[in-house]
Structure 1
Amino acid sequence: MSGTRKDAEKHKKTKTAKQTQNDTDFDSDSMAAVVEELRALRKEHAEASKETKDALARVESTLKELTERTTKLERRMSDAEQRLGGKEDDMQRHQRALGYLLHREANLTAKCEDLEARTRRNNLRIYGIPEGEEKNDMLGFISNVIRTSLALPEELHLIIERAHRSLIQKPIEPDSPPRSIIVRFLDFTIKEMIIKEAWKHTGGVPHDGYKIFFDQDYTTEVQKKRKDVRSVIKQLKEKNIKAQCPFPAKLKIHLLSGVKTFLPLQMRQLCSQNWASIST
């Protein structure tokens, strides 16, 4: 009985020792696994830390580069603003200078136009004389034309300084209108008397079987304006409206209600209207 108990106790101790040995082996394995996991975590942490540091370094480098570029752009922007401000000031000065020059050019053009018109005061133009009739004696031919066509007294001294055809190209076609003849008188009053006498003949002055026309020697600019007025006068005459073209290029309309005079700008406005409404 006692032997059996001893064997049981011995067996129990042996079992306990084995259990303890097994627990010890398990703890050792668990500890090794934990250590291995810790090492792996440490390695991962080190790698992650290195990647983070590298990323931060790249970010810092990029940020530094962006800061430098931003600084350069700000500096360039500041320089550009300064240059732009200078250019705006220059543009304002140029605009003022251009305005002054345009105003001066307009004044000079008007003065030149006036001076040219004054130099032509003693001139008149004769239209409708066929090319070549003057032969080689323009002065003698023109003097005879003026005296015979206007029936001027023989004692009247015309005193013509010079006479010539207008300087445009000689017409080639035989049915083309002949060039006008420009006649310059020494005395302005003689020229005016001849013009007034010629204008008494409505529809032209008869001469040698054809009609000739006398007019002032206007400048090129005035001739262009008067040409526009004459086209309007032609339209008005078709509607039985009497009209004239006073100097330099005005439009005078004779209506039942009275006489109306229009400047070139007003005349262009009238062209867009119905002429029949103006005659009332």
Structure 2
Amino acid sequence: MEELRTRTESFKSQISETMEENRKLKHGSYEMKASLNYMENKLHYMEARARRNNLIFHGLGKEKEKEDWKDAEALVRKLISEKLEVDDSTIKLERAHRIHNSNGPGPIIVKFLDFNDKENILRAHGHLKKTNIFINKDYTARVCQTRKNCLHF
């Protein structure tokens, strides 16, 4: 009988230790989830900041077989000066290139050196009505999904 009592106490002690260990692991798990959530939000913020000066131009001409960034930039500059009626001589582009698309010519993504240049182009997009050319902001995947979900309401 004494041996049974000793074994029972031993099991209770082991269960108590296991429960305490489990509690600590759960607490650590919550802390890691909070840290991961913080890091994901920070990464999203940084990605959004990196895309802040970008615009995506859809419907700009046919893609050449050997098109390079100079060709893409020339197409964008031509659109800016001729269709949007904005003086492109003052606009500084950091880079412009196509996003390859299997369904025809892909859109051209443009990074402007100056945020105000980007905003001026967006304000002038009204000149593109009744054309098949569209200009969009370069949103992150998270923002695109959120905007898509908002359309359902």
* Match for residue 124 of structure 2 among 197, 205, 216: 197
Displacement of 1:119: 1.0
Give the TM-score normalised by structure 1: 0.48
2:50 aligned with 1:129: no
Displacement of 1:146: 2.2
Higher helix share: 1
2:111 aligned with 1:184: yes
2:148 aligned with 1:227: yes
Inter-partner Cα distance in structure 1 for 2:150 and 2:58: 18
Amino acid at match of 2:86: L
Deviation string for 1:28-74 (max 9, x for gaps)?
Answer: xxxxxxxxxxxxxxxxxxxxxxxxxxxxxxxxxxxxxxx5xx82x44
Inter-partner Cα distance in structure 2 for 1:184 and 1:126: 11
Inter-partner Cα distance in structure 2 for 1:206 and 1:218: 22
Change (3 A) 1:151 1:89: same
Inter-partner Cα distance in structure 1 for 2:123 and 2:140: 20
Q: Number of matched residues?
A: 150
Change (3 A) 1:128 1:170: same
* Match for residue 160 of structure 1 among 86, 93, 117: 93
Is contact 2:98-2:109 (8 Å) kept?
A: yes
Structure 1 unaligned regions, length at least 5: 1-66, 233-270, 272-280
2:136 aligned with 1:215: yes
* Match for residue 99 of structure 1 among 8, 27, 30: 30
Inter-partner Cα distance in structure 2 for 1:184 and 1:120: 8
Inter-partner Cα distance in structure 2 for 1:117 and 1:81: 53
Displacement of 1:95: 1.4
Is contact 1:123-1:216 (8 Å) kept?
A: yes
Structure 2 unaligned regions, length at least 5: none
Where 2:109 maps in the other structure, the secondary structure is: strand
Inter-partner Cα distance in structure 1 for 2:146 and 2:56: 17
Is contact 2:98-2:108 (8 Å) kept?
A: yes
Displacement of 1:153: 2.6
Is contact 2:80-2:87 (8 Å) kept?
A: no
Displacement of 1:77: 2.7
Change (3 A) 1:135 1:159: same
Displacement of 1:191: 0.6
Larger radius of gyration: 1
Amino acid at match of 1:153: D
Where 1:92 maps in the other structure, the secondary structure is: helix
Change (3 A) 1:178 1:135: closer
Change (3 A) 1:131 1:98: farther
Inter-partner Cα distance in structure 1 for 2:142 and 2:105: 21
Give the TM-score normalised by structure 2: 0.83
> Following superposition, which runs of at least 4 residues in structure 1 exceed 6 angstroms of deviation?
none
Amino acid at match of 1:227: K
Inter-partner Cα distance in structure 2 for 1:139 and 1:90: 60
Change (3 A) 1:131 1:92: farther
Inter-partner Cα distance in structure 1 for 2:12 and 2:105: 66
Where 2:36 maps in the other structure, the secondary structure is: helix
